């Protein structure tokens, strides 16, 4: 009986042992399956490429920007300095060339720390483990990830040679300031190629690996120095450098200034516009990591020139304002304006000086390709693009739309138009004019009955300077930018006809049906205004602005390509007559500051009420450009008497450089245009002996017939 009981107990124990073993095997298999399920196939590393940089090229194929999450460049091991390779091995994994992917001593040390502290520590990792973590795994500090890291490291060691692993590591490692890989880091910290690095510089880069932020030489120079010297000492102890090399490298100075970042480069307003266009279309991942090739219309050299000159000229105007306010300002550092304020017997400093803002844009007259876009004086200070996002009153630069409406209604450049005092009243529904009078005194008397009436508003527009000339030719009225003529034309033609012209030219902004429309009281975007006015220089053919010629994916497949679209908005004859009058604005009128360029130019100045906005828009037959200046907060500049002609001066400074290689062509005369000599005062035919005769353009059959 006792033997039977013993037999049963022994059998039960055996079955229990086998069951426990079976459960352990199953659990182990499940656990290993779980471990391996989180490990990608190691063969993928053979084709591994980090996230790719999307490159942006200008119209001449010059690379001027890159969209990238990681600043990374891949280089073969033979191009990486030996001191840099040795320093990494000495500091990060001295047994790199001996182990099979992991270090037992390092793992035990890390596990002991984890047990004592109660949390996972990212330590004890070999170069191969760091590589597996950087390429395939997350940075989470978990035991399970550590196990996967070791398994993957063993697989990597089995599949790749030690030099291949070291090469991948040196191209993958993050070294701070957005630099991934040693080549990008050498450029960022020293502005050098890898081959130019000294032993001390290589050691400093190695010292960054465990904590790029802590050992950044620009943020923490003392810590960076101590870490670099530690790397050099370890390299000496392990026989990688001599004592002489050590002492020499310790004497090397640390870098003091980080290599120029994207924040210092020209064209950033344009780049931001490109980003806002492409990111919704292709997605953030594709734009920033997909390796796109983006071919744009921008001319980066012209862009840099425009940014430099605009800032210089606006700084000069800032200094005029500063002088009037008692502020000391250095021309080379306009941001460092200091106001000296006397208070309690002490001289104090106050940094509260506003700066003029500006915007500038250049496009191809015929195609609409944007060559230059300056959205403000500093992208790092303000990313608001005043060329595309700001809505400002165009002032008198709106008048060409009014003059085109007049031409379409049968006016000629010689038609006499009214430059006489006019007074309007608003009856609650529409604007009306008083009976025509020749002097403001009579109009003032007529307006007295409306004074104090809430049902009526009275408005009496005036020319700049308050002078009027009676009846003058349409051409002269545009050249002198006559406000009275503009509002009288709008009143005679109707605001709706003027708005229809502006719409056909390309403006989409809301425009009020009031006589003041002709003075540019509506608000427009610069890019749209420039495109609309360019329609007149293109023979009445409208083309929209465009910024991208072509986008390719990383394999060179074309994703999109610009195909130009044209729309006939106005007749070539009316467009030529208007452009010919706008040429007179430059040669004899408010825009003559631009005439010093010595080439055919058509243009129009614009100054809004209280001089809050100053414009100049000008064009050759090939290139059109718009310039604006003002304060973001709408501060008046009236006391300085700045106006559109002020803007025209720095417009000309920029365009002198941009147009230097463009032929000085004149605007082509279309069929159906004839020329006659007229008297510029009367608009009638000039006699042969008239000393002031002027050769005027007309549509055939519309020239005056009387002298």
Which active-site residues does the annotation give? 92, 396
Residues 15, 19: Cα–Cα separation, whole Å? 6
CB neighbours (10 Å) of residue 459?
15
Positions of E strands within 146-292: 179-180
Separation between Cα atoms, residue 432 and residue 225, nearest integer Å: 79
Contact assessment for residue 292 and residue 54, using Cβ atoms and an 8 Å cutoff: yes
What is the C-alpha to C-alpha distance for residues 199 and 244, in angstroms, rounded to an integer?
12
CA atoms within 13 A on the CB side of 421: 12
Report the alpha-carbon distance of residue 507 to residue 67 in Å, rounded: 32
> Residues with Cβ < 8 Å from 344, sequence gap 6 or more?
none
In whole angstroms, what is the distance from residue 405 CA to residue 419 CA?
18
Q: How many helices (H) and strands (E) would you count in the chain?
A: 21, 24
Taking alpha carbons only, the member of 599, 694, 617 closest to residue 656 is 599
The answer to whether the beta carbons of residues 230 and 250 sit under 8 Å apart is no
Cα separation of 599 and 297, whole Å? 25
Question: Sign of the C-alpha dihedral, residues 374, 379, 381, 384?
Answer: positive
Sign of the Cα pseudo-torsion (148, 153, 154, 155, in order): positive
CA 260 remoteness from chain centre: 17
CA angle 285, 287, 292 (to 5 degrees): 125
> HSE (CB half, 13 Å, CA atoms) of 606?
33
Distance CA 634, CA 166 (A): 59
CA dihedral 435, 439, 444, 447 (to 10 degrees): 10
Contact 24, 31 (CB under 8 A): no
630-636-638-640 Cα dihedral, nearest 10 degrees? -60
CA distance 3 to 534: 112
For residue 150, how many other CB atoms are within 10 A of its CB? 21
Residue for token pair 């020139």: 305
Q: Kindly give, in sequence order, each residue whose CB lies less than 8 Å from that of residue 86, ignoring residues fewer than 6 positions away.
A: 235, 240, 241
Distance CA 358, CA 392 (A): 12
Neighbours of 454 (CB within 10 A): 6
Q: CA–CA separation, 526 vs 542, rounded Å?
A: 16
Edge-first strand order for the sheet with 346-350 is 327-330, 333-343, 346-350
Beta-carbon count within 10 A of 89 CB: 20
The structure tokens listed for 691 are: 């000393």
Residue 61: CB atoms within 10 A of its CB come to 7
Give me the DSSP letters along 64-128.
EEEE-SSEE----GGGS-HHHHHHHHHHH-TTTTTSSS--HHHHHHHHHHHHHHTS----S--HH
Element (H, E) at 336: strand 333-343
Q: What CA–CA distance (Å, rounded) separates 266 from 578?
A: 35
DSSP H or E stretch at residue 580: helix 572-587
| Rounded Cα–Cα distance for residues 247 and 220 (Å) | 22
């Amino acid at each position: 009986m006792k033997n039977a009981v013993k037999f049963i107990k022994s059998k039960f124990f055996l079955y229990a042992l086998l069951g426990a073993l079976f459960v352990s095997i199953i659990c182990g298999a499940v656990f290993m399956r779980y471990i391996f399920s989180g490990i990608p196939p190691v063969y993928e590393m053979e084709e591994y490429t980090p996230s790719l940089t999307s490159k942006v090229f200008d119209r001449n194929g010059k690379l001027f920007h890159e969209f990238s999450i990681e600043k990374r460049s891949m280089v073969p091991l033979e191009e990486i300095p030996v001191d840099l390779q040795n320093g990494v091995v000495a500091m990060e994994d001295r047994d790199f060339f001996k182990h099979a992917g992991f270090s037992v001593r390092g793992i035990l040390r890390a596990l002991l720390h984890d047990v004592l502290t109660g949390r996972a520590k990212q330590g004890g990792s070999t170069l191969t483990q760091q590589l597996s973590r950087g390429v395939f795994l997350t940075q989470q500090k978990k035991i399970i990830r550590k196990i996967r890291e070791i398994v993957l490291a063993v697989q990597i060691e089995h599949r790749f040679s030690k030099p291949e692993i070291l090469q991948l590591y040196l191209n993958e490692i993050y070294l701070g300031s957005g630099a991934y890989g040693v080549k990008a880091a050498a450029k960022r910290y020293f502005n050098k190629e890898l081959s130019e690095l000294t032993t001390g510089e290589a050691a400093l880069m190695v010292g960054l690996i465990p904590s790029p932020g802590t050992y950044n030489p620009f943020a923490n120079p003392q810590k960076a120095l101590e870490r670099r010297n530690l790397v050099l000492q370890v390299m000496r102890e392990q026989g990688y450098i001599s004592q002489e090399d050590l002492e020499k490298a310790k004497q090397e100075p640390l870098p003091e200034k980080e290599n120029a970042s994207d924040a210092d480069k020209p064209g950033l307003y344009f780049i931001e516009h490109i980003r806002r266009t492409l990111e919704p279309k292709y997605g953030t991942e594709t734009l920033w990591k997909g390796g796109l090739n983006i071919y744009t219309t921008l001319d980066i050299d012209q862009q840099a020139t425009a940014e430099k000159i605009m800032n210089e000229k606006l700084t000069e105007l800032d200094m005029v304002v500063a002088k009037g306010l008692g502020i000391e300002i250095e021309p080379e550092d306009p941001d460092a304006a200091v106001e000296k304020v006397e208070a309690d017997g002490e001289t104090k400093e106050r940094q509260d000086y506003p700066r003029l803002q500006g915007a500038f844009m250049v496009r191809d007259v015929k195609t609409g390709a944007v060559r230059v876009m300056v959205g403000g004086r500093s992208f790092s200070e303000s990313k608001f693009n005043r060329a595309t996002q700001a809505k400002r009153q165009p002032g008198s630069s709106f008048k060409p739309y009014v003059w085109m409406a007049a031409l379409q209604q049968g006016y000629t450049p010689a038609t006499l138009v009214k430059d006489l005092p006019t007074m309007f009243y608003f009856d609650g529904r529409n604007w009306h004019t008083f009976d025509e009078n020749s002097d403001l005194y009579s109009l003032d008397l007529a307006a007295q009955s409306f004074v104090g009436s809430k049902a009526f508003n009275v408005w009496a527009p005036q020319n700049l300077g308050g002078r009027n000339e009676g009846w003058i030719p349409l051409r002269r009225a545009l050249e002198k930018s006559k406000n009275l003529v503009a509002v009288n034309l709008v009143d005679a033609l109707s605001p709706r006809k003027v708005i229809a012209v502006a719409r056909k030219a390309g403006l989409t902004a809301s425009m009020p049906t009031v006589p003041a429309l002709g003075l540019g009281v509506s608000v427009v975007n610069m890019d749209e205004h420039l495109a609309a006015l360019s329609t007149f220089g293109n023979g009445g053919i409208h083309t929209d602005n465009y910024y991208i010629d072509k986008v390719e994916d990383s394999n060179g497949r074309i994703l999109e390509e610009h195909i130009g679209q044209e729309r006939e908005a106005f007749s070539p004859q009316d467009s030529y007559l208007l452009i010919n009058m706008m040429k007179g604005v430059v040669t004899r009128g408010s825009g003559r500051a631009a005439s010093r360029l010595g080439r055919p130019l058509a243009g129009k100045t614009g100054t809004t009420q209280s001089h809050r906005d100053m414009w100049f828009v000008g064009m050759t037959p090939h290139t059109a450009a718009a310039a604006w200046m003002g304060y973001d907060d709408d501060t008046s500049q009236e006391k300085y008497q700045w106006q559109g002609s002020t803007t025209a001066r720095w417009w000309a400074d920029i365009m002198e450089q941009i147009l230097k290689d463009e032929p000085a062509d004149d605007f082509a005369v279309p069929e159906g245009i004839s020329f006659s000599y007229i008297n510029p005062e009367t608009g009638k035919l000039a006699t042969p002996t008239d000393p002031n005769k002027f050769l005027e353009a007309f549509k055939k059959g519309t020239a005056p017939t009387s002298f």
